[in-house]
Amino acid sequence: MQGTTQTPPQPDAYTPTDRTVPTRAAHKASYDRDLVHSILDEAYVCHLGFVRDGAPVVLPTLYARVGERLYVHGSTGSRPLREAGQADPGLPVCLTVTHVDGLVLARSAFHHSINYRSVVVHGVARDVTDPEEKRQALDALVDHVVPGRSSDSRPANRKELAATAVIRLDLDEVSAKVRTGGANDEPEDLTLPHWAGVVPLHKGYDTPVANHDLTPGIELPGYLTAR
Amino acid sequence: MQGTTQTPPQPDAYTPTDRTVPTRAAHKASYDRDLVHSILDEAYVCHLGFVRDGAPVVLPTLYARVGERLYVHGSTGSRPLREAGQADPGLPVCLTVTHVDGLVLARSAFHHSINYRSVVVHGVARDVTDPEEKRQALDALVDHVVPGRSSDSRPANRKELAATAVIRLDLDEVSAKVRTGGANDEPEDLTLPHWAGVVPLHKGYDTPVANHDLTPGIELPGYLTAR
């Protein structure tokens, strides 16, 4: 759309770096932007790693993607968010998202595996100080959990905004890793009398449970019944 | 069972440390041994954090619990496993397991949340060099994915054992964190016209898919049909 482009055109793939090229099973690695986005957008929780007193810390946390930026939020009192705000230029982090899609049963114990899709993001998380960006990030965090929900809830007020820290991690040094398909046994094991194949896993939603104090007459919104 | 006890009696709870007492939402933290075990035993994949060149790395990986020990395995060529074998006394790690149980929708954006159960283990991962412990750990890793499977597959041979590194992390500095229940809105928000409640998530198994090269006549084993 000539003349209306607001962001520079994105190449289709992230550029591999020393940290994003695996030492093994490199054929499972991908730098495809759409694949990375789809894996990130499907999960609810990421695992955020950072270093404290020289030792690693890994915490599960909500996140949201806005274009090529990831946002994580939390209390201004939480340690990683406080440290991201204080450190210059920010807090080195590794943010990882994983889906387990199936159990792979091989004839040999050695070739048992898991079908999965994962994304690993390396980078420096920075405190979001711009009020408009912070507001957009908080909306994205709510909409990441339930699309459309941010416009059907009370927005954060001044006190809540002040109590909430948001950090940003740019999608720059990123890789995906995917395993699909059946068991890969050694040729000499194929006739062993053990079953081999995949047990697919699935995730789903159960019927929503209304809060005990829900005002009578408030119906389940359409964005929930659609699931 | 007087006279037959092989391990010293375990207290019911892990001892909290500076690293396992959260700075906030401390009421969600638990050190209960049975709770920690149940959360660990239900997941397939953990997120293992370690430090490389001063920066955090978080990778998804299979694991298994044997009593108060966790085991992770991988290629002897994989970086964290190699580093655990070379470092003295081992590799400082943080191993985290998370289940997402529900989406919590509050009237206010601020009080949206996730129902979850997580376990965070801090410690030093050590290379398992004892052949018998290594063999037991590999069996446990297969049985963690499908209970009973290790006795219905070909055990690792000498070459496979040599290619596989196993590291051990003792359950010592451990905490669980659990959120359950509905939305906790501010009193003044209870009459807002927004639905509030929980969307429960569930995980399940689909019908197993036999490998394309499965020997005709091999039936699905009972430990899979039971699901």
Res A88: pLDDT: 80
A99, pLDDT greater than 60: yes
B37 belongs to a structural domain: yes
Annotate B123-157 with b (16+ C-beta within 10 A) or e (fewer). Answer: bbbbbbeeeeebbbbbbbbbbbbbeebbebbbebe
- Single-letter residue type at A203: K
Q: Average pLDDT of chain A?
A: 92
Q: Which of B20, B175, B211 to substitute to test the interface with A, most A CBs within 10 Å?
A: B211
- Which residues from chain A sit within 8 angstroms of residue B122, using beta carbons? 55, 57
Is a pLDDT exceeding 90 seen at residue A66? yes
pLDDT score of B2: 39
Residues spanned by the domain of B109: 26-197+215-225
Three-state SS at B110: helix
The arithmetic mean of pLDDT across residues A44-62, rounded, is 96
Please indicate if any CB of chain A lies within 8 Å of the CB of B26: no
pLDDT at B31 over 80: yes
**Are the beta carbons of B227 and A201 separated by less than 8 Å?**
no
Residue A211 covered by a domain: no
Chain B nearest-CA distance from A10, in A, is 26
Answer whether residue B1 shows pLDDT above 60.
Answer: no
| Closest residue of chain B to A163, computed from CA coordinates | B110
Coil, helix or strand at residue B143: helix
Residue B76 within a domain: yes
User: pLDDT band at A2, cuts 50/70/90?
Assistant: very low
Select from A211, A212, A219 the residue whose CB has the most chain B CBs within 10 Å, as the one to mutate to test that interface. Answer: A211
Asked whether residue A212 is domain-assigned, the answer is no
Residue B58, pLDDT > 70, answer yes
User: Nearest CA to CA, how far is B63 from chain A (Å)?
Assistant: 12
Q: β-pairing, A197-205 with B197-205?
A: antiparallel
**Residue A182 per-residue DSSP state:** S
Of A78, A142, A214, the CB nearest to B24: A78
Amino acid code (one letter) for B163: A
CATH number of the structural domain spanning residue B115: 2.30.110.10
Neighbour count for residue A227 (Cβ, 10 Å): 11
* Per-residue pLDDT at B4: 43
Q: Which chain A residue lies closest to B92 (C-alpha atoms)?
A: A55
* Cβ neighbours, 10 Å, residue A174: 28
Q: Please indicate, yes or no, if residue A116 is contained in any of the structural domains.
A: yes
Q: Which residues pair with A154 in a beta bridge?
A: B108
Whether A133 is covered by a domain: the verdict is yes
Name the residue type at position A80: P
Residue A26 with chain B: CB contacts under 8 Å: none
Beta-strand pair B91-105/B45-52 = antiparallel
CB spacing of B192 vs A154 below 8 angstroms: yes
Poorest-confidence range of A18-32, A153-167, B107-121? Answer: A18-32
- Place B9 in a pLDDT band, splitting at 50, 70 and 90: low
- pLDDT tens figures, B183-203: 999 999 999 999 999 999 999
Q: What pTM was computed for the model?
A: 0.93
Q: Residue B161's pLDDT is what?
A: 94
- How far is it between the farthest Cα atoms of chain A? 68
pLDDT of residue A81: 80
Span of A59-63, A84-88, A104-108, B71-75 with lowest mean pLDDT: A84-88
CA atoms within 13 A on the CB side of A162: 3
Q: Which residues on chain B are in Cβ contact (under 8 Å) with A94?
A: 49, 55-58
Q: What is the ipTM of this complex?
A: 0.93
* pLDDT value at residue B7: 57
Count structural domains, chain A. Answer: 1
Would residue A2 count as lying in a domain? no
Vertex B26, ends B195 and A212: CA angle to 5°? 25
Q: What is the pLDDT of residue B77?
A: 79
Q: CA-to-CA distance for B14 and A152, rounded, in angstroms?
A: 42
Distance CA B84, CA B18 (A): 24
Per-residue pLDDT tens digits for B64-118: 999 999 999 988 878 778 877 787 889 999 999 999 999 999 999 999 999 999 9
Neighbouring-strand partners of residue A198 = A104, B209
**Cα B187 to Cα B182: distance, rounded to the nearest angstrom:** 14
Q: Residue B86's Cα: distance from chain center in Å?
A: 24
Residue A52 located in a structural domain: yes
d(CA A128, CA A135) in angstroms, rounded, equals 10
Element (H or E) spanning B96, and its range? Answer: strand B91-105
Q: Is B160 an interface residue toward A (CB < 8 Å)?
A: yes
